[in-house]
Amino acid sequence: MSGLELRHVRKAFGAHEVFPDLSLEVEHGEHVAIFGPSGCGKTLLLRLIAGIYDPDAGDILMDGRSILDLAPDRRGIGMAFQNFALYPHMSAFDNIASPLSAHGNSAPTEHVREIAGLLKIDHVLSHAPRALSNGQKQRTALARALVGEPKLLLLDDPLRNVDAKLRYEMRLELPKLLRGFDATVLYVTQDYKEAMALGHRIAVMSRGTIRQFGTPEEIYYQPADVEIARLFGDPTINLLQLQPEKSERGVHIRLSEVAVPLPDGDALPTGRECTVGLRPEVLAFVDADVPAAIPVTVEAETPLNEKVVSLVRTSCGHELLVSRPAGTPAPASGPAHIGVDPGRLLLFDPSSGDRIALQDAVSTRGGSTT
Amino acid sequence: MDHTSPLETIFRRVALGVILVFFLFPIFWIVLMSFQTNEQILRIPPRVFFSPTLSNYKALISGELITTVGSLKLTFMHNLWNSFFLSTTSVLVALVLGVPAAYAFARFKFRLGEDIAFTLLSIRFAPPLLILLPLSLLFNEIGLSDTYIGLIWVYQLICLPLIVWIVRGYFEDISPDIEHAYRIDGHSWAQTFFRIAVPLARPGIAAAGLLSFIFAWNNFVFALILGSADKQPVTVGALAFVTAAGISYGQIAAAIVLSILPTLALALYAQRYLVEGLSLGAVKG
């Protein structure tokens, strides 16, 4: 039985329809990252589930039962808000104890201390929220969401308002912490790294619909469309407008006049332009005598700690980003050659942006396109 | 870090001094007058140094005014009690009615909501004299004239708009997420209102309560028309000092000093709520 299910949920504010028809099914105990650009309705989705707003149509079910007729206080949900939403007139302790006291737990002290210890805020429990640092506020808000051991945990971009170092720490710490709770988790984020680190599965939202729902690997290697391919990955994917050509050896594309063969696909488009997606790490510098080496000119190089990103230009004028692990040798400028792993190349329909399925390395491993 | 030059500091102090004298001197003079007899007050030129007397206060508290033409009964202490009772009860009633209304106006969009809120405010535009005649006729008809209940009811015209509009602003400043979070924690709507919204709007409620108390206390016309001697507050009661034997300035001054004391005490007490920050640090930014 699914832990949470949204069935054809529709929600509009006046003439503005945020969700035309949204469905989502999350397994019990699963952690799902909801990823999308700001304004796509991620936060509203959580608020519908929490009961702050009611959907105009459709149904929301927890453990197979509709929760729409339950008030927010009866749904058994824990939620951490993006702006923390701590009670300013209560101490951190009382903030965390709030869900327990609401349910008539008269002696919540031990439980609060335990969860505060897990989140390393046990030394500031007597402080008022205004005396807490942003990191401590965020941990207090998380503790408050977790303390009642809710069946469903809604985390609305809880790392948005903390600094980069803390965010990095929490990104490592949170999955471990959440594993200790038997809760279904919905985690809203705008940071694709957070989504990949925290979600068993990722729901990619755009303009009120879920464009793709899959594991981080599926999203990364088999993005449903060119928009998703662009959102995931740093540096961003290279996108080229190219026309695949057909020859006796199969279909290929040309980069600097060198033919790069495409794997067999269902319906490889020939004779019209396609968007070719090449992730920077799919490209590599090679020696000139390697078969199908593509001659390029290195224009610039940016070291990014663990990796180095080079900007290269093909002879036909396409600019490409090439990423390699730091410390590996490569020409810093001037002429060079790059090689492409054709199995990891992505092809998109130029008009719809949808990915065109190829017999690539991932799909032959058994994954299927969603 | 203080970057002001000595000259600037001196100028600032002088300016502050001038402002203080401008506002406080009349009050100071009234306090001085309250300790003088009518003869001392009226002599020319006036003097700052005099032998103080408590006769004015004695007359007010004992309720007997000795004038050159004989003794006169004063109901000042009873008036003071009336002022206190009418103002306090009116503010309390207005708070009970106004705070939930302010919350509704701040949080919910409902049909005619803005119109109702504006109508409440518009009551403050109209001069009270405009409604007094029909009101006194109506009150006579239904037996509410010269009753505390009638006056408290009319005082709502003063208190309710102030409370609704000031407190509404404070409720609007509270992030709705704080209330949502409390609901999701498992608390009912009423618990959220009383434990989150009201405490967080407390500075606003205190300010609105204090302001409407002062307005109610200072009201003159409603009580003059709608109340008789034993229901009248100090503002109307002070008319008694204008006697056939002349105006008793000393008693008027003493009456003023006595009648600002409750408001002053209330203002001093409520001050700490007024300056209390609203939701410091609870929400980002």
Q: Which of helix, strand or coil describes residue A101?
A: helix
What DSSP assignment string belongs to B18-69? HHHHHHHHHHHHHHHHHTS-HHHHHSSS--S------HHHHHHHHTEEEETT
Q: Is A104 in the B-facing interface, judged by CB distances under 8 Å?
A: no
Question: What is the topology classification, in CATH, of domain B76-279?
Answer: MetI-like fold (1.10.3720)
CB nearest A102 (choices: B186, B199, B282):
B186
Residue B219, class by beta-carbon neighbours within 10 Å (0-12 exposed, 13-18 middle, 19+ buried)? buried
In eight-state DSSP terms, residue B192 is: H
A202 to chain B, closest Cα gap in Å: 25
B180:A98 CB<8 A = no
Condensed to tens digits (0 to 9), the pLDDT of residues A281-316 reads: 888 888 888 888 888 999 888 888 888 899 999 888
Q: Is A86 in the B-facing interface, judged by CB distances under 8 Å?
A: yes
Beta bridge mates, A9: A22
B151 or A38, which is more confident: B151
* Interface predicted TM-score (ipTM): 0.81
Q: Which of helix, strand or coil describes residue A156?
A: strand
CB nearest B180 (choices: A52, A144, A148):
A52
A145 to chain B, closest Cα gap in Å: 8
Report the distance separating Cα A314 and Cα A253, nearest Å: 13
* Span of A120-129, A161-170, B62-71, B78-87 with lowest mean pLDDT: B62-71
- Tell me the CA end-to-end span of chain A in Å, nearest whole number: 21
Beta bridge mates, A308: A303, A324
In eight-state DSSP terms, residue A357 is: P
Beta bridge mates, B67: B70
Which residue bears the tokens 């979600």?
A199
Chain A / chain B CB contacts < 8 angstroms = 90
Record the tokens describing residue A264, joined without a space. 């067999």
Q: Which of residues 144-173 of A touch B (CB under 8 A)?
A: 144, 148, 161
CB nearest B199 (choices: A51, A89, A98):
A89
Confidence of residue A37 (pLDDT cuts 50, 70, 90): confident
Lay out the sheet containing A2-13: strands in order across.
A16-27, A2-13, A57-62, A65-66
**pTM for this predicted structure:** 0.79
Q: Is A85 in the B-facing interface, judged by CB distances under 8 Å?
A: yes
Pairing of strands A201-206, A31-35: parallel
Q: Where are the alpha helices (DSSP H) in A103-163?
A: 109-118, 134-147
Q: Where does CATH 3.40.50.300 sit in chain A?
A: 2-224
CATH H superfamily, domain A238-365: Nucleic acid-binding proteins (2.40.50.140)
Residues of B with CB below 8 A from A47's CB?
180
Q: Which pLDDT value is given to residue A45?
A: 92
Q: Which pLDDT value is given to residue B250?
A: 86
Condensed to tens digits (0 to 9), the pLDDT of residues A179-208 reads: 888 899 999 998 888 898 888 999 999 888
The pLDDT mean for chain A works out to: 86
A130:B281 CB<8 A = yes
Report the distance separating Cα B192 and Cα B180, nearest Å: 9
Record the tokens describing residue A220, joined without a space. 């990364």
Confidence of residue A360 (pLDDT cuts 50, 70, 90): very low
Report the distance separating Cα A103 and Cα A125, nearest Å: 21
Domain ranges for chain B, please list them.
Answer: 76-279
Its sign, for the CA torsion A61, A62, A65, A67, is negative
Q: Phi, psi (5° rounding) for residue A201?
A: -130, 160
Q: Distances from the Cα of A44 to the Cαs of A9, A50, A156, in angstroms?
A: 12, 10, 10
B182:A144 CB<8 A = no
Report the distance separating Cα A328 and Cα A47, nearest Å: 48
**Hey, which CATH number is domain A2-224, 3.40.50.300, 3.40.1350.10, 3.10.105.10, 2.40.50.90?**
3.40.50.300
The pLDDT mean for chain B works out to: 85
Average pLDDT score over residue span B10-22:
94
Closest residue, chain B, to A92 (C-alpha): B282
Q: Which of helix, strand or coil describes residue A365?
A: coil
Residues of B contacting chain A (CB within 8 angstroms) = 175, 177-178, 180-189, 191, 196, 199-200, 277, 279-285
Report the distance separating Cα B214 and Cα B228, nearest Å: 22
